Amino acid sequence: MSKGKRVASFLSGIITILLSFLMFYFPKLGMMIIVFIISFTLLGYGTRLLTHYSTLSRHMVGGKVILYIGMVIFNLGILTLTAASVGKLPVFIYLFVLFIFTGALDIMKAFEEKKNKARFWFWRLLFGLFAVMLGILSVVSCFVLKSSEGLNFLFCTVLFYSGFVRIIKAFRKTAIVYIQ
Amino acid sequence: MNTDFHYYATYCTAVLAGYSHEEACEICYSAQFVDFCSKTFLSSIKGPLSAATSQLAVELVEQKTDILGLQDITRIWSSFHFLPYDLHAKKKHCSRIYLNKYRLICNSNGKLVADTVNLAKNKTLQAVGIAMHVTADTWAHKYFAGTPSMVINNTDRFFYEVLPEGDSYSVRQLKFSHNPGAKDDPENGVYVNSLYQTSENTVMNLGHGRAGHLPDYSFIRYKYLPAWADYEEVLKDNPSDYLHAFAQLVYAMRYIRGEVENFELNTYAWDIIEPYRGEIETILEKRQTDDAADWKALGEKISGKTIPDFDIDRYKEEYKTASKEEKNNTFLGKFILGALAQKSMVTGKIYKSGNPIAGVSVDYKKNGFAGIKDYMKLIEYANGGKDDE
């Protein structure tokens, strides 16, 4: 990782943590902030992938995967944006799917890394299990506690965690395979 | 290709081309040094950083992949390790941005190979060594580009080793892991490669990283689907490619020595290598990841002299202790000039083809000197960079 990326990662970590405090102390803004953060992140990433497909990866073997991922992510971005006016339930469902999906992915990657004798696979496994736990908590928050405050607190936690990870990443040593 | 070919096999080719033991040692050292002349090394001798011919893993990790960073990477890897085959290649229905990357795909016997060999003619032995490294790599690294690009350099699960069995052959699927600490396991067909990442410009997608070290092993034959080849299967026959590289190096150096009038592409010194062809093929087919000992034994048999082991620091002190005026006449000084000339030539050709990926190149004859100060040395080089013999 370049110095610039490390600084960017550190700063975005700090901003994310500040945002989590903002949501914690002003819970009424919470739902709106959640929806906009998720939506614009997805729209931006989806647009980037669709542009990549139209200019480059449509010529690549297996390049359609980029198109499909781009379309799905872009649509999820639009869907999330509309979720604010529909109500809280879609946001709960969305968070559940998001956490379960990323958690499952992390757990799968952790076992793959273990198979490849990579270091730190256990930490990835822990992150994966934590994400799954958050997914379950979002369901509990919606159907058992029936409160958006729970969701707000949940998202604060996630934002804080995400910011914390970004700061750690800024200082983490990275290793790649280098072919000469 | 690794030390085995760039150092020891290049020594064999230089002796077969007619160079003395001492000259061959300088040529093969220079050919091998191309893989070690990084910015980190140049900093340690206070040399010009623009002369870098390779990048260390730690440098790549820290390397920015913004426009300037990509240009820096492309200048190094396209000029010395993945020489583009056709800078004016055509492909229907694709964007300019794609075409610019597509045109940097490396292959043997491209026009730039002739330009590289011609550039080394009447120059130093270090320049000859650099040209031999670049030429040899066009055989090993063919089908990959010296710029980070997923759409060109990516590979997928369709990756099979082809194992000859008499008149027939069998295939087995190869497996890849991404653990940087792991070693390649040819017996079980497990190799280390870089991670799949959907980011176009990540260094994980530089050169043959996604195919691991397979292009660097002379024994292996494999088939796969290159990202750029429209689902057409490509067979890479390394023993054959490496044999062609060997014969072409002998031919190129005979041309540089003036024993052949013109350098023609697709021409090889088969007659010169014939007495040793059996031994060469045996080394190339041997299932091992390092052929250095075998090449060294063959080289010493051909010349009757002992080949010293490669030592990255062999000429360091000479350069560091030389006065400012004398630096260009030291071994490393001559290597640096040769490297700058090669990089300048390839970057200039890429830029003139209308491709901005390697950066801007200014024509000295038309516009005078402009740009990176390090290249001022090239003017001295053009005015007599020969050995002081």
- Return d(Cα B129, Cα B315) in angstroms, integer: 15
Q: Which residues pair with B161 in a beta bridge?
A: B172, B222
CA B74, B77, B78, B79 torsion: positive or negative?
A: positive
- Nearest by CB to residue B180, choosing from A3, A63, A176, is A176
For the beta carbon of residue A173, count every other beta carbon within 10 angstroms.
7
For the beta carbon of residue B352, count every other beta carbon within 10 angstroms.
11
pLDDT exceeds cutoff 90 at A26: no
- The answer to whether A146 contacts chain B (CB < 8 Å) is no
The percent of residues above 70 in pLDDT, for chain B, comes to 97
- The answer to whether A84 contacts chain B (CB < 8 Å) is no
Task: Say yes or no for a CB contact (<8 Å) between B62 and A63.
Answer: no
Is B207 inside a domain boundary? no
- Return d(Cα A9, Cα A165) in angstroms, integer: 9
Task: Say yes or no for a CB contact (<8 Å) between A57 and B101.
Answer: no
Nearest-Cα residue of chain B relative to residue A67? B198
Q: Residue holding tokens 């089908």?
A: B143
- Return d(Cα B299, Cα B305) in angstroms, integer: 8
- Nearest by CB to residue A179, choosing from B213, B227, B228, is B213
Task: Say yes or no for a CB contact (<8 Å) between A61 and B154.
Answer: yes
pLDDT 10s digits, B77-116: 999 999 999 999 999 888 999 999 999 999 999 999 999 9
B221-224 and B159-165 as β-strands: parallel, antiparallel, unpaired?
antiparallel
pLDDT in the model for residue B101? 96
**Stretch B34-42: mean pLDDT, rounded?**
92
**Stretch B251-257: mean pLDDT, rounded?**
97
Q: Residue holding tokens 């694709």?
A: B94
- The answer to whether the complex's ipTM is over 0.95 is no
- Residues in A touching B209 (Cβ below 8 Å): 177-179
> What's the whole-number average pLDDT of chain A?
80
- Tell me the pLDDT band of A180, cut-offs 50, 70 and 90: very low
- The answer to whether A118 contacts chain B (CB < 8 Å) is yes
Nearest-Cα residue of chain B relative to residue A6? B62
pLDDT exceeds cutoff 60 at B276: yes
- Nearest by CB to residue A117, choosing from B182, B200, B229, is B182
Structure-block tokens of residue B94: 């694709």
Amino acid at the residue A116: N
- Tell me the pLDDT band of B316, cut-offs 50, 70 and 90: very high
- Nearest by CB to residue B60, choosing from A5, A118, A176, is A176
Is B196 inside a domain boundary? no
pLDDT in the model for residue A1? 55
Task: Say yes or no for a CB contact (<8 Å) between B227 and A117.
Answer: no
Residue predicted with more confidence, B387 or B248:
B248
- Return d(Cα B106, Cα B145) in angstroms, integer: 6
Nearest-Cα residue of chain B relative to residue A64? B151
Structure-block tokens of residue B67: 């426009």
Domain tally, chain B: 1
Nearest-Cα residue of chain B relative to residue A4? B64
- Tell me the pLDDT band of B62, cut-offs 50, 70 and 90: low
Is B49 inside a domain boundary? yes
- Report yes or no: B273 and B37 within 8 Å, Cβ to Cβ: no
Beta strand extents in B311-358 (DSSP E only): none
Is B180 inside a domain boundary? no
- Over the Cα atoms of chain B, what is R_g? 20
Question: What is the least distance, in Å, from the CA of A103 to any CA of chain B?
Answer: 19
pLDDT in the model for residue B380? 66
Is B115 inside a domain boundary? yes
Structure-block tokens of residue A15: 């901003």
Structure-block tokens of residue B254: 């005979």
Is B226 inside a domain boundary? no
Is B111 inside a domain boundary? yes
- Tell me the pLDDT band of B287, cut-offs 50, 70 and 90: very high
- Report yes or no: B125 and B10 within 8 Å, Cβ to Cβ: no
Q: What are phi and psi of B179, to 5 degrees?
A: -80, 110
The CA-CA-CA angle for residues A155, A127, A158, to 5°, reads 10
- Return d(Cα B92, Cα B95) in angstroms, integer: 9
Q: What are phi and psi of B160, to 5 degrees?
A: -125, 140
- Return d(Cα A138, Cα A158) in angstroms, integer: 11
Is B59 inside a domain boundary? yes
Measured CA distances, A74 to A28, A63, A98, B151, B323 (Å): 27, 17, 15, 21, 62
| H or E, element range at B272 | helix B270-273
- Residues in B touching A175 (Cβ below 8 Å): 57, 61, 180
pLDDT in the model for residue B367? 73
pLDDT exceeds cutoff 70 at B273: yes
Among A107, A179, A114, A69, smallest CA distance to B155 is for A179
Q: What pTM was computed for the model?
A: 0.80
- Report yes or no: B330 and B322 within 8 Å, Cβ to Cβ: yes
Structure-block tokens of residue B60: 């790549």
Task: Provide the phi-psi class of A117: left if phi over 0, else alpha when psi is between -120 and 50, else beta.
Answer: left
Structure-block tokens of residue B184: 């390649």
Among B25, B1, B2, smallest CA distance to B299 is for B25
User: A 50-79 residues with CB below 8 A of B?
Assistant: 52, 54-57, 59-63, 66, 69
Strand order in the sheet with B159-165: B168-173, B159-165, B221-224, B234-237
Domain range for B36 is: 3-150+238-382
Structure-block tokens of residue B45: 């001798």
Of the residues A55, A60, A105, the best mutation for testing chain B's interface (the one with the most B CB atoms within 10 Å of its CB) is: A60
